Chains A and B, each alone.
Chain A
Amino acid sequence: MILHIALKDLKIIFKDKKALMIMLLMPAIIMLILGSALGSVFTDELKINKFSIAVVNNDDGQMSQVFINKVLRESMGDMFNTFVVEGATAEKMLSNKTVPSIIVIPQNFSKNIDSNKPVNIEVKSQIDQQFKSSIVKSVTEGFAQGLSQSSAVAFAALDIFKKHNIPVPKPPMEGMTESMAIMQELQKKLSTEMIKFNESNEERQKNLSGIQYYSATMLVMFMLFGMSQGTKVMVEERESKTLGRIMSTRVGKLNLIMGKFLGLLFICFTQSMILIVFTRVVYGVNWGNSIPGLLLITFCAVFAGAALGMMIATIAKTPGAADGIGQAFIQVFTLIGGGMIPLFVMPDFVKYMANFTLNSWATKGYNDLMMGMGIDAILPYCGILIVMGMGYLSVGIARFKVE
């Protein structure tokens, strides 16, 4: 029965071609965007027939410019030509099928980012251009999501910096948003710190490059996105009212949670593998020599992440609450787990707190593998991740209620 619940969930996802495409493209796209934000060298090897898209920009701030010029024109420049036009023109282009998709950046987009409010960019697409419009949609969603995440993290970082008297960077450019400045400054600071750190005698990180470190932390952050998917599968079951019917059959809540968990595990694992292969091929990131080790640590990290998702899904009373709690977990875990700022520049209490995040253990595991260690080196981390996952699952099962 567990297996059939998992298969049913997968079937539902596989039927939704658009969602599936976004899900499989999302890891690559997020990496592409974060990669360009991290200033790494860009390889233009992606081969797709170039197409055009139209952008309507209702925002008068810096962030929309970054999105248009850096992300759409630079990072995605090989995939499509970007035209900035008026709303009516864009609609006409869409209905004429001149473009497969148009992107509408809302008013106050930059302002909202700057004040840490949730942001959203709308994408309208022709129905018969699924593939192209999925790419546009994932780029846009990835940007909006990544941006809100990282600006939220930057905000939190700012807080910690102030509390511990770490100097706060000043915006280097007129009109640049504060959080953007912090993010940029952090990255700059980081690359120098990273070099310094690599040169020091610390054994662990001796041969780890910045891009390797970030590939790992971003992968883990991405697993947490997967976790929020997990809350969705539970919420959907509730909303389609099928939860009640399931509970009226012989399937107990244990079977139900395990079934959904299994389906989620499969999806998140697949997504993570895509991301690893993608960074390997596109950026040449070296994930180490141990493929079994890589599979194992990925499995364990995904296990813990998916379990966390199931726990949140059973605790949250409404879809909104599930989303809110999920976001909070992503931000806190990414921040204190060393996702944006490596732990060694963090105050001691953060280092201590990091032990409670799955990010920190998973990142350690990936880093060890990247430095050429074998599967035995990561076994302790795997153990911790599995124990964490079991803990989350037990809480989820204990807290689960039908009503």
Chain B
Amino acid sequence: MSFLEVKGISKKFGDLKAVDNISFEVEEGEVFGLLGPNGAGKSTLISMITTLLKPDSGDVIINGLNLGKHAMEIKEILGLVPQEISLYPTLTARENLVFWGRMYGLKGTQLKERVDEALEIAGLQDRAKDRIDKYSGGMKRRINIAAALMHHPKILIMDEPTVGIDPQSRNHILETVVKLNKEGMTVIYTSHYMEEVEFLCTRIAIVDHGKVIAKGTKEELRKLVGNRDTINIGVANASDKVLSTIRDTNGVESLSVEDGKIKIIARGADELLAKVISILDSQRCKIQSVNVEQSNLESVFLHLTGRALRD
């Protein structure tokens, strides 16, 4: 049996199916990725897995325990890193960690040790006495994660832990996840950043509009796209007419426009590239850049939904 099993879980908000019959399994010791654009239903799913929200239907089993019946036992082995910074802004980092440690039932010297350990993981020992509201975004994120580690959970569930931070803090966080996982911690990592999920995760579920639209290892997901490449062409002035001509060209699987760049997923980029360039040329579109990429999770998402992962 898997360490965590989500079985046909659903949640509606009014008429909106935020999570629609989602199932997946997470094995002990792996980093499992939940990848999907904003509003896909990732946070709602996580709220249900962490007992904050009651599912309308479906089951969650963690470590052999049913979530509905054994919420307390599950809470003890589960660490949640919420999407938003969930700390008391006027308390110091240390005071926050001490408080969260107590909420997990820690006390005495063990509590003190765990606080020091958490500060070390966050790399913020020398800033422990500063108030959280004096911290940078990245430092807050690091304490936000450290607070979830106080009770040494078996499974760490991270909801977009790197949103809106500097590259240095991001690297620190990604390295932390790798390190924790090496030490045996199971991790569910939620993000809309394809690169992070691709870097960290062994297996991935791609979520869109409340549904899992694909899941598997990176290799399995890439196979879904087949032998497809992504062509990015920067153009100054592509009209709708030009775009639809390209879309209709033989070999083009899908096409989207992002930041003034045309993104084409295609079979056999070499042959197609010449055609596309000649179309653009004939319409007097100014080509600024061209680049061809091997398929990645981004192209998988584009392939499956016809939309880019990031809006």
Known: A4-B103, A8-B99, A245-B147. A15 touches B91 (CB 8 A): yes
Structural contact, B82 and A4, CB atoms closer than 8 A: no
The stretch of B26-34, B71-79, B162-170, B186-194 that contacts the partner chain: B71-79
Count of B residues near A, CB < 8 Å? 27
Whether B50 pairs with A248 at a CB distance below 8 angstroms is yes
Inter-chain contacts of B87 with A (CB < 8 A)? 240, 242
Docked complex: A105-157 residues within 8 A CB-CB of B: none
Mask of A217-246 contacts with B, CB within 8 angstroms, 1/0: 000000000000000000000001110111
Partner of B86, one of A241, A250, A402, A403: A241
A residues 1-15 near B (Cβ < 8 Å) are 1, 4-5, 8, 11-12, 15
**Interface residues as binary, B211-243 with A (CB distance below 8 Å gives 1, 0 otherwise):** 000000000000000000000000000000000
- Contact check, A242 vs B86: say whether CB atoms are below 8 A apart: yes
Q: In the assembly, what is the distance between CA of A15 and CA of B84, in Å?
A: 23
Contact of B75 with A250 in the complex, beta carbons under 8 Å:
yes
The answer to whether the Cβ of B301 comes within 8 Å of any Cβ in the partner chain is no
In this assembly, does A165 line the interface, its C-beta being within 8 Å of a C-beta of chain B?
A: no
B85 part of interface (Cβ distance < 8 Å): yes
Known: A241-B84, A245-B147, A249-B75. A402 touches B104 (CB 8 A): no
Q: Is A251 an interface residue (CB 8 A)?
A: yes
Check A242–B88 contact: CB distance below 8 A: yes
By the criterion of a CB under 8 Å from any partner CB, how many residues of chain A are at the interface? 21
Verify if B80 is at the interface (C-beta below 8 Å from A). yes
The listed residue (B78, B86, B99) touching A240 by CB distance below 8 A is: B86
| CB–CB A245/B100 < 8 A | yes
Q: Which residue of B lies closest to A3 (CB)?
A: B102
Q: Which chain A positions have C-beta within 8 A of B72? A: 250
Cβ contacts under 8 Å, B89 to chain A: 240
CB distance from A22 to the nearest CB of B (A): 16
Report the Cα distance A34→B140, complex, angstroms. 45
CA distance A246 to B95 in the complex (A): 15
Residues of A within 8 A of B1 (CB): none
Q: Which residue of A lies closest to B79 (CB)?
A: A248
Alpha-carbon distance A175/B87, docked complex (angstroms): 52
Contact string against B for A residues 1-39, beta-carbon threshold 8 Å, 1 for contact and 0 otherwise = 100110010011001100000000000000000000000
Whole-angstrom CA separation of A245 from B83 in the bound complex: 11
Decide if A247 is an interface residue (CB 8 Å cutoff).
yes
How near does chain A come to B252, taking the closest CB pair, in angstroms?
44
Contacts of B85 in A (CB 8 A): 241
Bound Cα distance A241, B88 (Å): 9
Cα–Cα distance between A11 and B84 once the two chains are bound (Å): 23
Say whether B104 contacts A249, CB under 8 Å. yes
In the assembled complex, which residues on chain A have CB atoms less than 8 Å from the CB atom of B103? Answer: 1, 4-5, 246, 249-251
Q: Cβ of B82: which chain A residues have Cβ within 8 Å of it?
A: 241, 244-245, 248
Instruction: For A5, list chain B residues within 8 Å (CB).
Output: 103
The one of A8, A15, A244, A250 in contact with B104, judged by C-beta atoms closer than 8 angstroms, is A250
Q: Smallest distance from the beta carbon of A256 to chain B beta carbons, Å?
A: 9
Q: Is B51 among interface residues, defined by CB-CB distance under 8 A?
A: yes
List residues of B (24-79) whose CB comes within 8 Å of A's CBs.
Answer: 47, 50-53, 72, 75-76, 78
**What residues of chain A lie closer than 8 Å to B80, measured between beta carbons?**
244-245, 248
Provide the residues of chain B in CB contact with A246, threshold 8 Å. Answer: 103
Name the CB-closest residue of A to B89: A240
Contact check, A11 vs B91: say whether CB atoms are below 8 A apart. yes
Q: How many Å from the CB of B125 to the closest CB on chain A? A: 22
Chain B hits for A251, CB < 8 A:
103
List the A residue with the shortest CB-CB distance to B80. A248
Given contacts A245-B82, A250-B75, contact A8 B147 (CB under 8 A): no
> Contacts A241-B84, A242-B86, A402-B52 given: A250-B105 contact, CB under 8 Å?
yes
Question: In the assembly, what is the distance between CA of A12 and CA of B78, in Å?
Answer: 27
Residues of A within 8 A of B (CB): 1, 4-5, 8, 11-12, 15-16, 240-242, 244-251, 402-403
Top 5 nearest A-B pairs (CB, nearest first) are A245-B86, A249-B103, A248-B80, A241-B86, A241-B84
Given A242-B86, A245-B86, A247-B52: 5 more A-B contacts, CB < 8 Å = A240-B89, A242-B88, A250-B75, A251-B103, A403-B53
- Show 16 residue pairs from A and B whose CB-CB distance is below 8 angstroms, ordered by the A residue: A1-B103, A1-B105, A4-B102, A5-B103, A11-B91, A15-B90, A240-B88, A241-B82, A244-B52, A245-B82, A248-B51, A248-B52, A249-B103, A251-B103, A402-B53, A403-B47
